[in-house]
Structure 1
Amino acid sequence: MIFPTLDGIDDNLHNLIVSYINLLVLSADIHSFTQASNAPGVQEQVLIRKIIKLHDKYMAYVTDCFQNHTLFHKALKEAFEVFCNKTVTGSSSAELLATFCDNILKKGGSEKLSDEAIEETLEKVVKLLAYISDKDLFAEFYRKKLARRLLFDRSANDDHERSILTKLKQQCGGQFTSKMEGMVTDLTLARENQASFEDYLRSNSAAHPGIDLTVTVLTTGFWPSYKSFDLNLPAEMVKCVEVFKGFYETKTKHRKLTWIYSLGTCQINGKFDQKSIELIVSTYQAAVLLLFNSSDRLSYSEIMAQLNLNHDDLVRLLHSLSCAKYKILSKEPNTKTISQSDYFEFNSKFTDKLRRIKVPLPPVDERKKVVEDVDKDRRYAIDAAIVRIMKSRKVLGHQHLVSECVEQLSRMFKPDIKAIKKRIEDLITRDYLERDKENPNTFRYLA
């Protein structure tokens, strides 16, 4: 299928070609996509792989059959913008693309690819991102997953992490990747900081925390926000915190450390009747277990009071230790749910064929939090765009203000017109703008 000439295409033929290619792309392989997304147990990467394959297929048509004509590139772009912004089984394309990247880049991902294949795949993923309107949503999902790869040593290759950030920076600009680049830099500095801490301990024997301690110091502005509780640490952990604070004060007195215990992991030795087993647990789980070094039996209320945890978090912790796969604690009554009248004891009879086990916590659905954070950031972005436009224009009509705001923000997300109107009203109440007295549809900037 080759056009002998593409010069002088009139508007009617132009519209016909655009509509035809849109129809081709949107209908091609749609049945297999639907099957892939609905089949139980099929992961997100199956769908994204099929979209990549489909894009390669039609890009080859544009290049080989249509002489790389800009008209067909435009048609392909318009088609994929519609197609790639569909919601699939309740998940946005932005989330699916971020999850696909995470699977490629983390250790133990389901796809075993060579370095060259990974680079090629990442290149194609970034090309798909160009079609997605909610780029800010992708950025936040990607940042959350990047944080987990970096903090829990799950990243398979640092070079690939930097490579995709370079590609994203070229595609979306430096502001898009600035926080992510800061996260990668933070981890490099954290390794140097840990080496300095170990030197400090070697030269200050009196300051030794008593247990092996690794601390990762992060810059707040780069990383996703995490809940920080005023956890009452067991005595063993309190000394660790104090020793590190002493070390950090020798480096700087102008920074405040906020401890995020929810991101910590501990390796503790469980001495059971049959054998000792090394338990890999979260800091919170470790805090619960260490209480049983000094008490044989504790009630739910006693654990809550000693650790200063809220109900939801304590239920999650106790369930993971007494009701899940590894029953490190025995619970009375022996039910599968946690109630405030329960009592707990260390299960000395627990055994396992392995000498080292990881006790998982129930996963938390972070999707709602990510969407909320993005919505909040969008409000700030809309406010900033409106103020920027009005500061330069001084006086502007409602329609022009809305259209300029949409144009400025469309690189990162497609702003909702109702949201823009709401932000305009909010800026009026905060005395950034005022309505013209003679024409209510005209706004004036208040310096």
Structure 2
Amino acid sequence: MPIHAEETVDIEGGMAVLKKSVTKLTNILEGLPEMPFNTMEYMLLCTTIYNMCTMKIHYDLSAQLYEEYKKSLMDYLDSLVLPSLRSKHDEYMLKELVRRWFNYKVMVRWLSRFFHYLDRYFVKKWSLLPLREAGIACFRDVVYGEMKGKIKDAVISLIYQEREGSQIDRALLNSVVEIFIQIGLGSNEYYEVNFEDPLLRDTAAYYSRKASKWILEDSCPEYMLKAEECFKQETDRADRYLHPTTKQKLIENVEHQLLSVNEIQLLEKENSGCLALLRDDKVDDLERMYRLFSRIPEGLTHFSQLFKQHVTAEGTAFVSQAENAARDKREKRDAADSPQLVLIRRIIELHDKYIGYVQESFQNHTVLNKAFKEAFDVLCNKDVASTSSAEMLASFCDDVLKIAGSEKLSDEEIDRTLEKAVKLLSYINDKDLFAEFSRKKLARRLLFDRYANVDHERSMLTCLKRQCGGQLSSKMEGMVTDLTLAKEKQSSFEDYLDANPHAYPGTDLSVSVLTTGFWPSYKSSDLTLPDEMVKCIEAFKKFYECSTKNRRLSWIYSLGTCNINAKFDAKSIELTVATYQAAVLLLFNSADRLSYAEIKAQLNSTDEDMVRVLHSLSCARYKILKKAPMTDTISPNDIFEFNFKFTDKMRRIKVPLPPVDENKKMIEYVNKDRRYAVDANIVRIMKSRKALGHQQLVLECIQQLSRMFKPDVNLIKQRIEDLIIREFLQRDQEDPNVYKYMA
């Protein structure tokens, strides 16, 4: 019993030592006169707690001390902290909260040291909250439980003041937010439920009011400037004193209220919305519009639709102007630049302008890129005055490359213009038609020496190859190579004549030898040439047969030209004429008058060719022949004689042939090639797949052929049926919509 009495005294004494130490610590924190803890006091307190926890007969002293630890903290909070907070409001209350929180953490840290033995053994054994966390839980239960509403309101009030332009103590807010975080003991639940959620609701209400006001009072650019500044401020606010997890939520909240809610109204705002900015080339505002609306989900969808609408409308206006100009040109017989060529120049300028917007202002975004492409898919496939876009683009390139083109450009400008023109080809559906028109025009430039520079021709072909692959440009590359070889062959022919004077036909002759597979198909006729021409041809044949084996020459008279010295009464004039015209004129060296029938019989020509040639010589501008009767049309009963009275102020004139509309034939030729291409593509697909449904076969065929032309579904169906008849394919017996490949 004496031992028991002695231990009881020790316990009571220990509690007294503990309470005395807590009181002293409280006085120090409150700034009351008090000496700091010395080493002896610190050792005494720690030893006392240790002894009380290790006494064998009192198993509950550790639990009692754990509760005493929490009671000491709660007494401090009840008696000193809460009263001081209740007496203050708004910012002053927050400052007091931060000060009290700081002091309280100091108190918890000191008491945790005093009770360290509990942390090491008792807390671990019974899986209780460690002393520091238990201390924070006491603050949460006592102070936060009562003051959380006022704290939240005070913080949100300060944030509102800052949004309205007032200067606030950001460090204070950061400290208060840290309290919300720390009382969660590793969880953000208290922060999110009691502060973040109310803050987001208040933010939504605040910016909803602002947006409603701005959308009525401000122009679209002014609204966007304010919105952008708000995003900047809210981002800075979140970085400075809010928890990192709040930033994205806060920004999305503001984005929704300022952009998503008012998206349509803002983009379509009269006189200042998207279309107005595009119309007035407000690049900075458009860049800002892109930056803002790219922030929100589907934010660029409507923006891209308006962009596409504007580009399409502007380009369509150019097309309408070209249509009107073409009609006026036909009515007035105006010799000004072709409206179609002017249109292509404008479309190139339009493309340059808006591809700059897409790539620079809109950062090459997929949605805007798609809208841009769709707009030009429409513009670049519009016909003008029955002229297809493929023909217009080919004519434009021809005009740039011709030696007498309408535009006088430097070498660098020519290459740059051609590259831009070829870019338009990617939007044109009928690339094969463009290739055929280009091939025809290239042939005329090369054969009639109308090209400005062969390097430009090669540059054009390089652009085509890069844009569409070798399939489109391979034949034209062969044509340019043929031209070089033809010049070498002509030089060899001239050397041959120099070495063999007896072979000289009496007339200078220049021949271009071409490879049939590269060049467009031309009509070959059995024209009976006058003797002067026959001598020239025989001389070249003899030379060619000596230098080349196993090759047969096929003469294309429709491409030839002749220079004839015509002696009129007034003076001699050199006539530049086509081979057919020259053949007709040379007949009059041996006859004064010839009938239509006699000319046709001597030349063995067709009526079609005769009408064109005789009309050009007797009814057009230069009347080299006189016709009886004097009408503007050619008939089989006409009589012709050489017009010795003809004269002209020039000593050299070119007598043109009436143009032949070859477009119909060319389109028929292209359509024929398309049938072959569809056949080959279907067979290639079926050979690899063996069996395929009708719909899948059509889709794959369209997808693969679209690189050169947009195949018609009906054409594909016709070719499938034809391949079935020709036993390349057969229908499945169980499902007629499935085709099988027949090896």
Report the TM-score, using the length of structure 1 for normalisation: 0.97
Say yes or no: does 1:337 pair with 2:624.
no
Tell me by how many angstroms 1:65 deviates. Answer: 2.3
**Counterpart in the other structure of 2:596:** 300
More helix by share: 2
Distance in 2, Cα, partners of 1:275 & 1:28: 56
Distance in 1, Cα, partners of 2:640 & 2:294: 80
**Counterpart in the other structure of 1:37:** 323
Tell me by how many angstroms 1:322 deviates. Answer: 0.8
Q: Match of 1:147, as an amino acid?
A: A
**Counterpart in the other structure of 2:450:** 154
- On the 8 A contact 2:315/2:347 being kept in 1, the answer is no
Aligned to 2:588, the other structure's residue is in SS state: helix
Aligned counterparts, 1:72-221, within 5 A: 72-221=368-517
Aligned-residue sequence identity (percent) comes to 67
Tell me by how many angstroms 1:71 deviates. Answer: 2.4
Distance in 1, Cα, partners of 2:654 & 2:522: 22
- Gaps in structure 1 of 5+ consecutive residues: none
Q: Which moved more, 1:139-148 or 1:12-21?
A: 12-21
Q: Match of 2:493, as an amino acid?
A: F
**Counterpart in the other structure of 1:277:** 573
**Counterpart in the other structure of 1:357:** 653
**Counterpart in the other structure of 1:434:** 730
Tell me by how many angstroms 1:32 deviates. Answer: 4.2
Distance in 2, Cα, partners of 1:33 & 1:238: 51
Distance in 2, Cα, partners of 1:164 & 1:305: 45
Distance in 2, Cα, partners of 1:89 & 1:347: 39
Tell me by how many angstroms 1:14 deviates. Answer: 4.8
Tell me by how many angstroms 1:258 deviates. Answer: 0.4
**Counterpart in the other structure of 1:288:** 584
- On the 8 A contact 1:268/1:280 being kept in 2, the answer is yes
Q: Match of 2:681, as an amino acid?
A: A
Distance in 1, Cα, partners of 2:300 & 2:739: 40
Distance in 2, Cα, partners of 1:403 & 1:63: 32
Tell me by how many angstroms 1:83 deviates. Answer: 1.9
Distance in 2, Cα, partners of 1:57 & 1:256: 53
Residue deviations 1:153-201 (CA, integer Å, cap 9, x gap): 0001111111111011001001110000000000000000001111111
- Alpha-carbon distance change, 227 to 63 in structure 1, aligned in 2, over 3 angstroms: same
Q: Give the alignment partner of residue 545 of structure 2, picking from 220, 237, 249.
A: 249
Residue deviations 1:346-405 (CA, integer Å, cap 9, x gap): 111111111111111111112112211111111110011001001111111111111111
- On the 8 A contact 1:101/1:122 being kept in 2, the answer is yes
Tell me by how many angstroms 1:64 deviates. Answer: 3.1
**Counterpart in the other structure of 2:141:** none
Distance in 1, Cα, partners of 2:603 & 2:662: 24
Distance in 2, Cα, partners of 1:60 & 1:373: 38
- Alpha-carbon distance change, 353 to 116 in structure 1, aligned in 2, over 3 angstroms: same
Distance in 2, Cα, partners of 1:27 & 1:319: 45
Q: Let me know the Cα RMSD of the aligned residues.
A: 1.4
Distance in 1, Cα, partners of 2:293 & 2:707: 31
Aligned to 2:487, the other structure's residue is in SS state: helix
**Counterpart in the other structure of 1:26:** 312
Aligned to 2:687, the other structure's residue is in SS state: helix
- On the 8 A contact 2:381/2:428 being kept in 1, the answer is yes
- On the 8 A contact 1:140/1:370 being kept in 2, the answer is yes
Q: Match of 2:648, as an amino acid?
A: D
- On the 8 A contact 1:62/1:68 being kept in 2, the answer is yes
**Counterpart in the other structure of 1:240:** 536
Distance in 2, Cα, partners of 1:117 & 1:140: 25
Distance in 2, Cα, partners of 1:70 & 1:113: 35
Tell me by how many angstroms 1:214 deviates. Answer: 0.6
Aligned to 2:636, the other structure's residue is in SS state: coil
